[in-house]
Chain A
Amino acid sequence: MHRISVTVNGTTREGEVEARTLLVHWLRDSLGLAGTPIGCDTSNCGACTVLMDGRSVKSCSVLAVQADGSEVTTIQGLANGEWHPVQKAFKECHALQCGYCTPGMITAAVDLLGENPDPTEEEIRHGLEGNLCRCTGYHNIVKAVELAAGEMREAAK
Chain B
Amino acid sequence: MTDAFEPRILAYCCRYCAYAAADLAGSMRLAYPPNVRIVQVPCTGRIDALFLLRAIEAGADGVYVAGCLEGECHFLEGNLRARKRVDFVKGVLGEIGLEPERVEMFNLSSAMGPRFAEIARDMTERIRRLGPSPLRTDDASGETALGRCA
Q: Do A and B come from one complex?
A: no
Q: Residues of A at under 8 Å CB distance from B? A: none
